Amino acid sequence: MKRIFYPESIVVIGVSERPDNLARYIVSNLLTFKYQGALYAVGLRTGEVYGVPIVDTLDKVPNDLDLAVILTPAHTVPDLMDFCGRKGILRVVVESAGFSEFSEEGRRLEEQLIEVARKWNIRFVGPNCISIVNLETGVCLPFGPISPDTVQSGPASVIAQSGGVSLTYLGALSKAGIGVNKVVSIGNKTDLDETDYLAYLLDDDDTGMICLYLESISDGRLLMDLARSSSKPIIIHKANRGKASQKVAFSHTAALADDDRIVGAAFKQTGILRAEGFHDMVAIAQGLSLPPVQGNELLIISRSGGHAVSAADTAERYGFQLPPLPDSFDKAVRTLFSADVIAPTNPLDLGVIYDFQVYAQIVEQSLQALSPDAVLLINTYSQHEADDARLLARRVGDIVRELGHPIAVCNYTDVDDSRTIQKEIGLPIFDDINGALRGLASSREWTVWQKNSARRAPSLMQTSQHTVSINKTEDGVLNADQALNLCAAYGITTARWEIARNPEEAMKSAERIGYPVALKILSSKMIHKTDYGALALGLCDPNEVVTKAQELLGQMKETTIESPSFAFMVQQMVSDGIEVILGGKRDPHFGPVVMFGLGGIHVEIYDDVTFRVAPFDEFDARAMIKEVRGARLLEGFRGKAPVDQESLIQALLSLSQLMVENPNVTEMDINPLIVTSKGAVAVDARGVIVDRER
Q: What is the pLDDT of residues 267-284, one digit of tens each?
A: 999 999 999 999 999 999
CB-based burial, 650-675: b 16+ in 10 Å, e otherwise: bbbbbbbbbbbbbebbbbbbbbbbbb
Strands of 517-522's sheet in order across? 497-500, 567-572, 517-522, 535-539
The C-alpha atoms of residue 21 and residue 24 are separated, in whole angstroms, by 6
Instruction: Please give the Cα distance from 689 to 625 (Å, whole number).
Output: 27
Cα separation, 396 vs 522, whole angstroms: 71
- Axis crossing angle, helix 356-370 with helix 386-403, rounded to the nearest 10: 20
Nearest to 493 by CA among 615, 642, 650, 662: 650
Least confident span in 88-97, 243-252, 440-449, 451-460: 243-252
Q: What local confidence, expressed as pLDDT, does residue 288 receive? A: 98
H-assigned helices in 123-193? 163-175
Give residue limits of the domains in the chain.
Answer: 2-285, 293-447, 496-572, 578-689
- Please give the pLDDT value at position 342: 62
CATH for the stretch 496-572: 3.30.1490.20
CATH architecture classification, 2-285: 3-Layer(aba) Sandwich (3.40)
Q: Which residues of 224-245 are buried (b: 16+ CB within 10 A; e: fewer)?
A: bebbbebebbbbbbbeeeeeee
**173-194 pLDDT, tens digit each:** 999 999 999 999 999 999 999 9
pLDDT band at 255 (very low <50, low <70, confident <90, very high): very low
Give me the DSSP letters along 288-350. Answer: HTSSPP-SSBEEEEES-HHHHHHHHHHHHHTT-B-PPPPHHHHHHHTTTS-TTTS---SSEE-
- pTM of this prediction? 0.90
Does pLDDT of 144 surpass 70?
A: yes
Average pLDDT over the chain, rounded to an integer:
89
Residue 303 CA to residue 248 CA, distance in Å, equals 57
b/e per residue, 587-607, with b = 16+ CB within 10 A? Answer: bebbbbbbbbbbbbeebeeee
Q: How far, in Å, CA of 649 to CA of 509, rounded?
A: 32
Cβ–Cβ < 8 Å for 671, 686? yes
Q: Is the pLDDT of residue 306 over 80?
A: yes
139-140 and 374-381 strand pairing: unpaired
Which pLDDT band, with edges at 50, 70 and 90, does 15 fall under? very high
Residue 325 and residue 361: Cα distance in Å, rounded? 15
Share of the chain above pLDDT 90, in %: 72
Confidence of residue 493 (pLDDT cuts 50, 70, 90): very high
Sign of the torsion formed by the C-alpha atoms of 327, 331, 337 and 338: positive
Look at residue 473 and tell me whether its pLDDT is greater than 80: no
- What pLDDT sits at residue 83? 98
CATH T-level topology, domain 578-689: D-amino Acid Aminotransferase; Chain A, domain 1 (3.30.470)
CB neighbours of 219 closer than 8 A, spacing ≥ 6?
Answer: 193, 195, 589
Residue 474's pLDDT band, with cuts at 50, 70 and 90, is low
pLDDT tens profile 653-674:
999 999 999 999 999 999 999 9
Residue 111 has pLDDT above 80, yes or no: yes
Domains 2-285 and 293-447 share a fold: yes
What is the model's pLDDT at position 245?
A: 37
Q: What percentage of residues in the chain have a pLDDT greater than 70?
A: 89
Q: Does domain 293-447 have CATH number 3.40.50.261?
A: yes
Per-residue pLDDT reduced to its tens digit, 501-549:
999 999 999 999 999 999 998 876 655 555 566 789 999 999 999 999 9
The per-residue pLDDT for range 328-366, each reduced to its tens digit, is 777 777 666 654 556 778 998 887 777 888 888 888 888
